[in-house]
Structures are given as structure tokens and as C-alpha cells.
Amino acid sequence: MQHAEIVNQIMEMFAVAGQAAYYGEAVSQTEHALQSANLAVQANAANELIVAALLHDVGHMLRGSDETTAKRGIDDVHEELGAAWLERHFGPTVTGPVRLHVAAKRYLCAVDSAYLSGLSSASQLSLRLQGGRFSPGAARAFESEPHFVEAVALRRWDDAAKVAGLTVPGLEHYRDMMESVLSEGSIDVTGS
């Protein structure tokens, strides 16, 4: 599959599932993704991390989970599903932060006393389903993960990317960047 085809597939995924409400928040899946990516751009993040911010919740769209999933007591493990799907096309500088962004929430709750109280009620509910805050030992172990720093940055953008009505660049703004990141750091996308 060519890079442009992969990006087209991602765009189609957003077109089909991205308009769904974002799990108890006042934004859609697409709005949340675009706000996350925009925050990464504002932080002068590397292109790979901007793409990770844009695609960090692709697992929600792949799973087809609806807004009531967490309310029904289900953790959809979207970070694992999304990272596994992205690994078919992108390298670890994209997939590592995606895989770790839920763990980064659990980590921040353990090391930053103000972090938990700043989470939205929907994020607090999902935190309970995801295992709650890390123990001190788990927090130390998380700090040794490759892409730990990037995952924590992504988590903070994720938490802030829930502003209803915020105007940010659309998906097309990121097309060339996604193709470039695919070209620079991807695995063999032909499957051969």
C-alpha cells in the first residue's frame, strides 16, 4: 500500500467514525484529534509526535466503541488496538507514544498531585477502568519506557484537547506530514 493510500484510509476512518461524540466530552473524535495535534504543533513537537497526537485515539474508531462504553464499565483498550494498527504503517516514534498515552495518565496521577483533580469527569471514569493511578514502583518503571517523555507530552495535549467550538486546522492540513512521516520512519508498507 502506498503512503497516499494509507493516509486516505486514515482520512476515511475520520470521515466515517470521527464525527461521533468523544466519550462524555463536548467535542467529536475528529475535533479532539485535531486539537491534540494543534497543541503538539504549538509546542514545536517533532512531526512524528504531531502525527501521534493526531492519531492517538484511532483505536476508539477502529473498535467502533460508542460514547457509553466507559459508562457500561468497559475499558476498550484503545491504546493497544490503535498502536497495533498504526504499527503496520508507522514506526515507533509514532506508535510508542500512542501505546503509552493511557499509561501516561496513570503515571501523572501518581506523580502530580494536582493532575487528577484537573481531569474531566469522563477521564476520571476511564482512569478507574484503566487501573487507576500507578503505584510508586510502576511509576518508576514507566519512566524507563522508550517514548516516556513523548507519551507524557501527548497525554497533556490529550487532556487539553476538549474545547467545544475551537477553530484549528483540519485533517487536510496534516496530509503531507503524515505521508512524510510514513516515508521517513515506516516499516515496509508493501507487506513483502
Count other C-beta atoms under 10 Å from residue 104's C-beta: 26
More confident: 104 or 132: 104
Residue 80 lies in a domain: yes
Residue 189 lies in a domain: no
Chain centre distance of CA 186: 18
Give the structural domain span for 90: 3-184
**Does the pLDDT value for residue 22 go beyond 90?**
no
User: Tell me, what CATH number does 35's domain have?
Assistant: 1.10.3210.10
Residue 86 lies in a domain: yes
3-state helix, strand, coil in the chain (%, to 5): 65, 0, 35
Residue 83 lies in a domain: yes
Cβ neighbours of residue 123 closer than 8 Å, sequence gap 6 or more: 105, 159
pLDDT digits 0-9 by tens, 135-159 = 999 999 999 999 999 999 999 999 9
CA–CA distance, 169 with 146 (Å, rounded to integer): 30
Residue 192 lies in a domain: no
pLDDT digits 0-9 by tens, 45-71 = 999 999 999 999 898 888 765 555 555
**Does the pLDDT value for residue 31 go beyond 80?**
yes
Mean pLDDT of the chain: 87
When pLDDT is averaged across residues 33-38 and rounded to a whole number, the result is 98
CA–CA distance, 185 with 69 (Å, rounded to integer): 34
Count other C-beta atoms under 10 Å from residue 77's C-beta: 14
Residue 84 lies in a domain: yes
CA–CA distance, 188 with 192 (Å, rounded to integer): 7
Residue 151 lies in a domain: yes
Number of domains in the chain: 1
**Does the pLDDT value for residue 121 go beyond 70?**
yes
Instruction: Supply the pTM of this predicted model.
Output: 0.87
Residue 110 lies in a domain: yes
When pLDDT is averaged across residues 90-102 and rounded to a whole number, the result is 95
